[in-house]
Structure 1
Amino acid sequence: MYRITKPLNHNALLAFNMDDAREYLVVGRGVGFGRKPGERVEDFGGAVEPQRYLLSQAAGGRGDAHDLLARIDPVVLDVAEGIYEDVRDTFGKADPKMLLPLADHLAFAVARVREGGGLSNPLTEDIRALFPREFEVARRGVAELADRMGVELGDDEVGLIALHVHSSLDDGHVEQAIQVAQLTRACIGAVERLTGSAIDVSSYDYNRLMTHVKYMVTRIIRGERLSIDVNETIKLSAPSSYRAAEAVCAEMERLMGTPVSELEVGYLAMHIARVAGEESRAASHR
């Protein structure tokens, strides 16, 4: 049995569970419609089971859940719930713990835009290419926010929201997704220095390089090791790419605070050489 503490909007309310003596944020289509404080509810039910978020859980680093809910515009919370539902519909799953951190992020972004402050995100294009479906979900959410609140957040903010979406899918964190994007940017920067020209972000090799970095970061976090040793071969065939990979792996160790296996250097260098065309140049001189 629940006792309604506070309806927030048609799709969200605070409720005290009288069985376990804890308070929850309950989110789902129509759960708050017509509810009144003090009302007792046995089951929220509905076509889609609503999500229950325990308010004693950490809520994203800028205060506890009660503090966040007190300062977040209910429309922002509603848009965050819409993004959550879109994630669930698009990918077939979503971690409900994403809701409050995402709502907090949106509220902060709206306040920043209204105060005239812009956001610059140098990783936007990398995020768009790394996580295209997440980016589109985020774009739809930002469009809904603009429609309902008249606030245009822009693609740089869409990129950051896409990271929230991604982190809700694979038990990761926004920080880890940012690391993937940063390290991908380091790889692309190394390739561009080698070639002296900008890389085509729509190319197959570019996307393959980003996918490699993504799984490389995951392996390092999980403590998994490669069994393939291509170091000596790549050192001989693509020495510039190997040196670039060494620099990127050193940056990876700094960002992640975790040793990177030497075997990762050669495997990454192989992908860098392919994008930079160094393997082709080496072959043509043999």
Structure 2
Amino acid sequence: MTIKKIFNNNAIIAENSDKHEFVVMGCGIAFKKNIGEKVDERLIEKTFILKGKDASEKFKMLLEDVPTEYVSVCYDIIEYAKNVLDAKLNDHIYVTLTDHVSNCFKMIESGIIIHNPLIWEIKKFYPKEFKVGLKAIDFIKDELGKDLPEDEAANIALHLINAQINNSLNNVEDAAKQAKMIQDILNIVKYTYNIVLDEKSISYERFVTHLRFFFHRIDKSETVDTAEEDFLLKQVREKYKDAYQCMLKVQKYLGKELSDEEKLYLTVHIQRVSKKN
């Protein structure tokens, strides 16, 4: 394996005998080295093999601007997530998560704290991913000495969820189908209430995000009803009668009986997005 490009003393692009490229990291792996020289494989700590050309090119660009230690800790988080979640993640997660963490540090250093309005839903619907997010905060604290708020656990969980969803959308047709279904549901709400939805509102953004994850959940049958959901749904059905009826239209459109849990949260989101307008 030979050195093709040097980012810094600890990160390079290496090329094997088959002309395949890899991003390789290791303490001092490029120290006093030049392009074309052999890689000291004893110093290799992490190897990034990104199959998608787009993800690979973006990751290389990211390495030009992001400190190596940020890339390293995100690698550890992603590998931990793969094992705990037992899930395949889209290669873009190496780019999106590293970029997010880097920007997060910049904002915190500037005194800017951004709260995640979806933290409640993430804890409820994606407890495994949220726990990984909490563990990621521990990794960052241990490896970088930086403290992050709980909101960042939810943000990291979102990246992991998106990486799973994007990986399950096998082609452009799948993504287009999901986008059309989301638009159809938004139209059901719009015509039921005879309103124009405010696409810049937080309620709208949360609703669309909920729908994206909603399709992922119903495909995998990840929800289980409890007595608590049944009780809350009865309360919501009485309090938000119009939103509940609108939810039933959405259920009819989908052509399948939804769990009480999904009915509950869809109704609440419909109520929020319609009330906002």
Is this a same-fold pair by TM over 0.5?
Answer: yes
Q: Distance in 2 between matches of 1:112 and 1:266?
A: 44
Number of the residue aligned with 1:128: 123
Q: 1:149 aligns with which of 144, 151, 154?
A: 144
Distance (whole Å) between structure 2 residues aligned to residue 155 and residue 215 of structure 1: 21
Amino acid at match of 2:3: R
User: CA deviation digits over 1:22-63, x for unaligned, max 9?
Assistant: 643236xxx5554434332497898x994313684247xxx9
* Structure 2 residue matching 1:168: 3-state secondary structure: helix
Q: What is the letter of the counterpart of residue 26 of structure 1?
A: V
Q: Is 1:83 the counterpart of 2:73 in the alignment?
A: no
Displacement of 1:13 in angstroms is 3.3
Unaligned runs of 5+ in 2: 170-174, 186-209, 221-236, 266-277
Q: Hey, what does 1:160 align to over in structure 2?
A: 155
Cα offsets for 1:107-165 (capped at 9, x unmatched): 01111111100111111121122111211212122222233434322111210111222
Structure 1: segments with no counterpart, 5+ residues: 184-211, 223-237, 251-259, 276-286
2-structure distance, mates of 1:129, 1:270:
14
Q: Distance in 2 between matches of 1:97 and 1:273?
A: 32
> Distance between the aligned counterparts of 1:49 and 1:3, measured in 2?
15
Which residue pairs with 1:5 in the alignment?
5
RMSD: 4.5
Q: Which residue of 1 aligns with 2:112?
A: 117
- Compared with structure 1, are the counterparts of its residues 89 and 272 closer, same or farther at alpha carbon in structure 2 (3 Å cutoff)? closer
Q: How do residues 232-251 of structure 1 correspond to structure 2 at under 5 angstroms? A: 243-248=242-247
Distance 1:107 1:98 in 2: 14
Within-5 A mapping of 1:132-281 = 132-170=127-165, 171-172=167-168, 216-218=214-216, 243-248=242-247, 262-264=252-254, 267-268=257-258, 271=261
C-alpha displacement of 1:72:
0.7
Shift of 1:263: 4.8
Label 1:242 to 1:101 Cα distance change in 2 as closer, same or farther (>3 A): same
Cα distance, 1:67 vs. partner?
3.0
What one-letter code is carried by the residue in structure 2 that aligns with 1:136?
K
Secondary structure of 1:57's aligned partner? helix
Q: Which of 52, 59, 73 is matched with 1:65 structurally?
A: 59
How many residue pairs get aligned? The number is 209
Determine the C-alpha separation between the residues in 2 that align with 1:146 and 1:119: 19
Per the TM alignment, residue 75 of structure 1 is displaced from its structure 2 partner at its CA by 1.3
SS at match of 1:53: coil
Q: Find the residue that maps to 1:146 and give its secondary structure.
A: helix
- Identity %, equivalent residues: 22
Matching residue of 1:53: 50
Q: For the structure 1 residues 241 and 16, does the alpha-carbon distance in structure 2 shift closer, same or farther, using more than 3 Å as the test?
A: same
Structure 2 vs 1, CA of residues 32 and 16 (structure 1 numbering), >3 Å: closer, same or farther? farther
Higher helix fraction: Structure 1 or Structure 2?
A: 2
Residue type of the alignment partner of 2:5: T
**Offset of 1:106 from its aligned partner?**
0.5
Residues 1:101 and 1:266: Cα distance change in structure 2 (over 3 Å) = closer
The secondary structure found in structure 1 opposite 2:123 is helix
CA 270–117 in structure 1, closer or farther in 2 if over 3 Å, else same: closer
**Which is worse superposed, 37-46 or 155-164?**
37-46
For residues 13 and 172 of structure 1, do their structure 2 counterparts lie closer, same or farther at Cα, with a shift above 3 Å needed? farther
Partners in 2 of 1:215 and 1:116 — Cα distance?
Answer: 31
Q: Distance in 2 between the 1:172 and 1:215 partners? A: 12
- Note the alpha carbon deviations across 1:54-98, whole angstroms, 9 max, x for none: 684247xxx933332111111111110110121122134443441
CA contact (8 A) 2:4 2:12 kept: yes
Any conservation in 1 of the 2:3–2:14 contact (CA below 8 Å)? yes
8 Å Cα contact 2:28/2:43 also seen in 1: no
Q: Give the direction of change, closer, same or farther, for the CA distance of 1:25–1:239 in structure 2 (3 Å limit).
A: same
